[in-house]
Amino acid sequence: MTRSWANPLRDERDKRLPRIAGPCGLVIFGVTGDLSRKKLMPAIYDLANRGLLPPGFSLVGFARREWEDQDFGQVVYEAVKQHARTPFREQVWDRLAEGFRFVQGTFDDDTAFDKLAETVAELDELRGTSGNHAFYLSIPPGAFPVVTQQLARSGLAKPTHPDQWRRVVIEKPFGHDLASARQLNKVLNDVFPEDSVFRIDHYLGKETVQNLLALRFANQLFEPIWNANYVDHVQITMAEDIGLGGRAGYYDGIGAARDVIQNHLLQLLALTAMEEPVSFRPKALRTEKIKVLEATKVIGPCAETTARGQYLGGWQGGQKVPGLLEEAGFDKNSTTETYAAITLEVNTRRWAGVPFFLRTGKRLGRRVTEIAVVFKRAPHLPFDDTATEELGQNALVVRVQPDEGVTLRFGSKVPGNQMEVRDVSMDFSYGHAFTESSPEAYERLLLDVLLGEPSLFPVNEEVELSWEILDPVLKHWQTAGKPEGYPAGTWGPEAADKMLSRTGRHWRRP
């Protein structure tokens, strides 16, 4: 890619200076939404505060509201004050706010998009955004076709000079099954070439997730045992304690598997199970992720190897909470699952015979995301049976959040005259090892969009392969009645426990 602003004296690998985005602007569709206020606007401020945005950076909001630029500015201000990670600095804010613009209109309104094109052109003149613009579609996917067509019609989708760029950023859901994902990709690729489409999976923006690559490929210690000879199984858990109040519009009919397993958990699986890439260039990384996703299949029969649940009312954190069917906006007969667990196999020499158990749920015991690589038992234990009664299986646990870090579990002798072995843990914790706090996933990802750095964004093929993996489960559930109820604050439906106990294993209690 040509970057007219590239500094010939600056080596991109030089870690002393951070990489700063070149002249550019961002247009957000759906500025009034939750994501925009809670994540995008604060992340933009945090980037500005860290000095990572160009001086003339501009932010354009597009929405139906009858707002002036100042009203939009006020909304951003409140979002930043409430949700930004870094301290508020008047000077940074004032400078950033000079680049705010608002365009009022609906998605089918040609005049509004012509106005948007004018606004963007003005910013190029006034603030030196140099024709480089990213369009963030923080809107329901049903609106993607009309918006991308409008961007094409108004000339916004294509740069007018080879040095300039136009990019589109989209959020899941990327369809609701393989067929709809293909259709969606076609709609996007009709207007934006694949290398200018940035699909957000915010899990890839998390430090702890990127650290999986460092853990596996920068160390000698783990890779030799990272395979079917030593690993018994892998558990990938994303548990949340929150319920779905206020999210019926998005969630009802979608459910936990589509919301979380199709994207976040399969990406975590890909990074855990993939082979070493030949380099960390985007293409090399993508090649390995695609290979592993291609090799991943559901283990059946789904009636035994998957589990589905829906939370019931109960007590959580000392508070009485409603069940899903009592949450505002949900169909009283909704069969949407709020808990999903599936069993996968990765058909490669490295992983043959090692099940990967993935689970996610709302209103569970606590909020935690982790990847646990559980090792086989030692083939022989030269102790009395009673000495190792309390010894579990060794495990390496990547703690994605909260309390980010890595835990190694192994057996150790209990002090005393007898030989008794019990599980102990060795911990690495980000909070202790590093003084800097990790940036929010959206800071990293938004900056990467502006830098044109695609490594942390799943491509079309990954999205489609993930649907291919999940589709058989969704199909089975469609005809398998209702999800099983589980009381809020517990660890999911009984079926999930049975799913593991059938194989002689059990879920970790994170």
Q: Which residues are annotated as a binding site for NADP(+)?
A: 64, 172
- Determine the Cα–Cα distance for residues 126 and 22; give it in Å rounded to an integer: 16
State the Cα–Cα distance between residues 361 and 176, nearest whole angstrom. 18
Least distance from ligand BG6 to the Cβ atom of residue 371, Å: 13
Q: Give the span between the Cα atoms of 123 and 343, in whole angstroms.
A: 51
- Binding to ligand BG6 by residue 337, rule CB under 6 A? no
The rounded distance, in Å, linking the Cα atoms of 41 and 48 is: 11
Q: Which is nearer to ligand BG6, 200 or 500 (CB)?
A: 200
* Candidates 161, 176, 264, 432; catalytic one: 264
User: Annotated binding site for substrate, which residues?
Assistant: 202, 206, 240, 259, 362
Does 259 bind ligand BG6 (CB under 6 A)? Our answer is yes
**214: which residues sit within 8 A by CB, 6+ positions away?**
none
DSSP-based three-state secondary structure for 481: coil
CB of 264 to ligand BG6, least distance (A): 6
Cis, peptide link before residue 173, omega less than 30° from 0: yes
Contact present, 218 and 301 (Cβ < 8 Å): no
Residue nearest to ligand BG6 as judged by C-beta position: 259
First to last CA, the chain: 45
- CB 127 to ligand BG6: min, Å: 32
The binder of ligand BG6 chosen from 207, 232, 240, 420 (CB under 6 A): 240
Q: Which of 473, 485, 462 is nearest to 194 (CA)?
A: 462
Q: How far is CA 385 from each of CA 124, 152, 390, 410, 411, rounded to the nearest angstrom?
A: 75, 72, 10, 17, 14
Smallest separation, CB 236 to ligand BG6 (Å):
13
Q: Which two tokens stand for residue 181?
A: 């994902």
Residue among 231 and 244 whose Cβ is closer to ligand BG6: 244
Which CB, 46 or 259, lies closer to ligand BG6? 259
Q: Which is nearer to ligand BG6, 232 or 327 (CB)?
A: 327
Annotated binding site: 64, 172, 202, 206, 240, 259, 362
Locate 29 and state its tokens.
């569709």
d(CA 443, CA 331): 36
Token pair in block for residue 77: 């201000």
Q: To the nearest whole angstrom, how small is the minimum distance from the Cβ of residue 203 to ligand BG6?
A: 7
Nearer residue to ligand BG6 within complex by CB, 250 or 383: 250
Give the interface size with ligand BG6 as a residue count (CB under 6 A). Answer: 5
Closest CB 357 distance from ligand BG6, rounded Å: 19
315: which strand partners? Answer: 320
* 440 contacts ligand BG6 (rule: CB under 6 A): no
Which segments of 192-243 does DSSP mark as H helices, in order?
A: 207-217
Residue 139 CB, nearest approach to ligand BG6 (Å): 15
How far does CA 341 lie from the centroid of its chain? 18
Say which residue the tokens 């609906």 belong to. Answer: 106
Give 240 or 462: the residue with its C-beta nearer to ligand BG6. Answer: 240
Q: Which residues, 6+ apart, have CB-to-CB distance to 386 below 8 Å? A: 420
Triad 442, 340, 294: Cα angle to 5°:
70
Query: Phi first, then psi: what are they for 361, rounded to 5°?
Result: -170, 160
Which residues, 173 to 212, sit near ligand BG6 by CB under 6 A?
A: 202
* CA separation for the pair 321, 312 (Å, rounded): 9
Binding to ligand BG6 (CB under 6 A) within 287-326 occurs at none
| Structure tokens, 504 | 């002689």
**Residue 198 C-beta: closest distance to ligand BG6, Å:** 16
Neighbouring CB atoms inside 10 A of 318's CB total 6
Whether 133 sits among the annotated catalytic residues: the reply is no
Nearer to ligand BG6, 37 or 127 (CB): 37
As a whole number of angstroms, the distance between CA 287 and CA 282 comes to: 9
| Cα–Cα distance, 317 to 306 (Å, whole number) | 28
Choose between 40 and 191: whose C-beta lies nearer to ligand BG6.
40
Q: Are 246 and 328 in contact (CB under 8 A)?
A: yes
From CA 498, how far away is CA 504, in angstroms rounded?
Answer: 10
Q: List residues with catalytic annotation.
A: 264
Binding site for ligand BG6 (CB under 6 A): 202, 240, 259-260, 369
